């Protein structure tokens, strides 16, 4: 009798559990959230500003006046702006074009023999360059090169003479740029300017002449604001 009662209770409990399970709602499964990783878009037009320093290159010179002495070109503070456009392709490479101009605080170089005084000064530098870069996320490393310009009235002397001072030359350089916000990037850049050789011949009794290589090395830091053509691009995983 006891075994019969225990079996009956077990059957009733099993049936009740089955009924309760049948009344429960079906279990639902929630998909994992979609993760959106940003792809940094360097394509677009940008405008920016920079500051830095300029240093004289080759300080050697040749002259037919044994008394003529020259001073090294002073280090100069520079500051200015840039305007450019980039196009990103394939997918980590970038090509672009940039125009840049910088004012110089003091870039004098002088020569004197105690009688003759010659001064060479540049008040501004400018360039139009193409650039090729490689990007990885917010980072960009690039090389650049193109045509360079400077003011064309930099030679002054206390003797009349014939001078050859180029106001157009070439420039090469490179830098690192980092996109620290959706529309903002910061950069550090080296740029070399070469304006060939400057020569001056003066109509004084000694027929003094002087010739020297005219080049500058510059280091700049700056920021750019970017107007992206295509807007933000996002990859989903």
Inside any domain, residue 74: yes
d(CA 198, CA 110): 13
Structure tokens at 150: 């400077």
Give residue 97's pLDDT.
98
For tokens 């074009």, name the residue: 97
Inside any domain, residue 3: no
Give residue 19's pLDDT.
52
Inside any domain, residue 162: yes
Structure tokens at 47: 């405008």
Give residue 128's pLDDT.
98
Instruction: Choose among 213, 230, 173: nearest CA to 56.
Output: 213
pLDDT in tens, 9-23: 444 444 555 554 455
- Structural domain boundaries enclosing 116: 43-225
pTM, rounded to two decimals: 0.79
SS3 (DSSP) at 6: helix
Inside any domain, residue 237: no
Model confidence at 196: pLDDT above 90? yes
Report the CATH number that the domain containing residue 149 is assigned in CATH: 2.40.160.20
d(CA 12, CA 135): 71
Model confidence at 230: pLDDT above 70? no
Radius of gyration of the chain (CA): 35
Tell me the sheet residues that pair with 4. Answer: none
Structure tokens at 44: 């677009």
pLDDT in tens, 100-159: 999 999 878 888 888 888 888 889 999 999 999 999 989 999 999 999 999 877 888 888
Inside any domain, residue 10: no
Inside any domain, residue 167: yes
Inside any domain, residue 107: yes
Inside any domain, residue 234: no
Structural domains of the chain, count: 1
Structure tokens at 217: 């090395």
Output DSSP code: residue 182: T
């Amino acid at each position: 009798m006891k075994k019969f009662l225990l079996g009956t209770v077990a059957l009733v409990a099993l049936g009740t559990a089955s009924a309760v399970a049948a009344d429960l709602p079906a279990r639902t499964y929630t998909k994992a959230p979609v993760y959106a990783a940003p792809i940094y878009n360097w394509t677009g037009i940008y405008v920016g500003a920079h500051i830095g320093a300029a240093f004289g290159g080759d300080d050697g010179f040749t002259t037919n006046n044994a008394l003529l002495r020259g001073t090294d070109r002073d280090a100069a503070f520079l500051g200015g702006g840039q305007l450019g456009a980039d196009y990103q392709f394939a997918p980590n490479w970038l090509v672009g074009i940039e125009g840049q101009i910088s004012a110089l605080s003091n870039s004098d170089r002088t020569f004197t023999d105690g009688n003759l005084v010659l001064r060479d000064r540049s008040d501004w530098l400018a360039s139009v360059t193409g650039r090729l870069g490689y990007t990885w996320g917010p980072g960009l490393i690039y090389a650049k090169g193109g045509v360079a310009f400077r003011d064309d009235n930099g030679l002054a002397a206390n003797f009349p003479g014939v001078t050859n001072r180029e106001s157009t030359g070439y420039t090469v350089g490179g830098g690192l740029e980092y996109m620290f916000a959706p529309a903002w990037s910061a950069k550090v850049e080296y740029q070399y300017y070469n304006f060939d050789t400057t020569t001056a011949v003066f109509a004084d009794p000694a027929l003094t002449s002087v010739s020297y290589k005219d080049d500058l090395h510059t280091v700049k830091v700056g920021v750019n604001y970017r107007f992206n053509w295509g807007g933000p691009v996002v990859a989903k995983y």
